[in-house]
């Protein structure tokens, strides 16, 4: 079968916030096709791949004409005739064509959509679903889901400072049961908000719109929702995405909701107090991306009792993961393909995390589409964890539902990762 790349086309489609994004379709000489889509984040690490936008007044500056011109011009020319089954070579060509450290020339949105499209086309040529093609016969697990209940930060008009209040169904015996448990907690939280007379609605990623007087109040209500749904702390635990770079810089952290400001030491005391009082099993970006000492201090303080994830701090970069591990910073990495800009770079980051004994969490972005590629990456690469957003809005549910279908395909061989996917000693 001839698996050389014959045709590449980029097109504008629309994401969950009504903003344009890049979709790329690749056709091979054999007729096999694949599509890749670039998501977009609201809170972004300064070192991640550049999301190339047009600027100006049209579409609020979020236009993607320049990125699409790169796909349909230099990228298509450079990749035409290459073998889609050689993903590393294709991605190396994209990296060389761009020639920058952060995909600023071609645009990370152009390169990741192209890279994913080539991957999908290769799987189609092999006659396999993407997850199975990626696994290459190796064992896989259904991932432990990390699902937002309350949205905050940049995802909810900064109504509260903390970006995500999430749950992780540690006690489930299958992915299907895991989603059932989260559904119970999600709706229990909605009932609690309604009983409080809170304004109802959902944030960018589908979580309940926050209506709290303090950041800790959201934690209190989330803990109540878990118990109202009938679960113990070792069955459903709390995960936080602090996204501290959004309100912290130069060792100072400002909580706008509470009109409070902290130095790093005081800020860590606040977070560690939450860890002691609530069933928190995972904390993402507890400090700002420029606070290396604070990240080391937090990681050392929680030891192996809490997963400490680097997102803006590590930006899906294998070299940054290796450096952080050597310095005692974090014990897990968030895996966002569009932060890296190609599939190969994304996979290498996951592999380095695995070699270090770290956790790896494949993650969506706040601006998403119906694309389900990250589910296949999480399962095919056997990362053990998946973070998609909340338990509402179709661009989120499409991904959770895809994992259910894959669990069914695996049949009696399906294995749910559960809390064992975390780099911690035990459940709360």
336 is catalytic: yes
Tokens linked to 136 = 């290459």
399 is catalytic: no
Catalytic residue among 103, 336, 387, 399: 336
Catalytic residue among 205, 246, 289, 395: 205
Residues annotated as part of the active site: 205, 336
């Amino acid at each position: 079968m001839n698996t050389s790349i014959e045709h590449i086309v980029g097109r504008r489609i629309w994401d969950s916030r009504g903003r344009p994004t890049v979709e790329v379709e690749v056709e091979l000489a054999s007729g096999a096709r694949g599509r890749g889509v670039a998501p977009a984040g609201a809170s972004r690490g300064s070192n991640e791949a550049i999301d190339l936008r047009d600027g100006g007044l049209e579409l609020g500056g979020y236009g993607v004409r320049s990125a699409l011109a790169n796909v349909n011009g230099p990228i298509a020319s450079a990749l035409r005739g290459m073998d889609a089954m050689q993903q590393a070579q294709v991605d190396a060509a994209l990296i060389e064509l761009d020639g920058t450290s952060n995909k600023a020339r071609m645009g990370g949105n152009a390169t990741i959509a192209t890279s994913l499209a080539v991957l999908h086309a290769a799987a189609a040529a092999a006659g396999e679903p993407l997850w199975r093609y990626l696994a290459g016969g190796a064992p896989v697990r259904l991932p432990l889901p990390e699902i937002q209940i309350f949205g905050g930060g940049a995802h909810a008009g900064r109504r509260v400072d903390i970006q995500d209040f999430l749950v992780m169904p540690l006690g489930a015996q299958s992915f299907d049961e895991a989603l059932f448990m989260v559904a119970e907690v999600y709706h229990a939280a909605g009932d609690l908000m309604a009983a409080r007379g809170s304004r109802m609605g959902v944030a960018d990623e589908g979580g309940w719109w926050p209506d709290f007087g303090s950041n800790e109040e959201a934690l209190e209500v989330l803990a109540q929702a878990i118990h109202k749904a009938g679960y113990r702390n070792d069955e459903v635990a709390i995960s936080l995405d602090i996204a501290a770079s959004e309100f912290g810089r130069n060792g100072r952290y400002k909580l706008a909701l509470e009109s409070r400001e902290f130095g790093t030491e005081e800020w860590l005391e606040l977070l560690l107090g939450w860890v002691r009082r609530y069933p928190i099993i995972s904390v993402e970006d507890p400090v700002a991306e420029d606070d290396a000492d604070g990240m080391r201090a937090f990681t050392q303080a929680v030891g192996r009792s809490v997963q400490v994830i680097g997102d803006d701090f590590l930006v899906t970069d294998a070299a940054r993961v290796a450096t952080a591990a050597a310095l005692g910073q974090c014990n897990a990495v968030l895996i966002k393909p569009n932060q890296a800009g190609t599939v190969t770079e994304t996979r290498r980051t996951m592999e380095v995390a695995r070699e270090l004994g770290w956790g790896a969490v494949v993650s969506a972005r706040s601006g998403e589409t119906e694309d389900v590629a990250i589910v296949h990456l999480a399962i095919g690469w056997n990362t053990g964890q998946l973070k998609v957003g909340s338990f509402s809005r179709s661009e989120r549910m499409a991904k959770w539902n895809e994992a259910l279908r894959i669990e069914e395909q695996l049949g009696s061989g399906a294995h749910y990762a559960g809390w064992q996917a975390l780099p911690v000693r035990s459940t709360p």
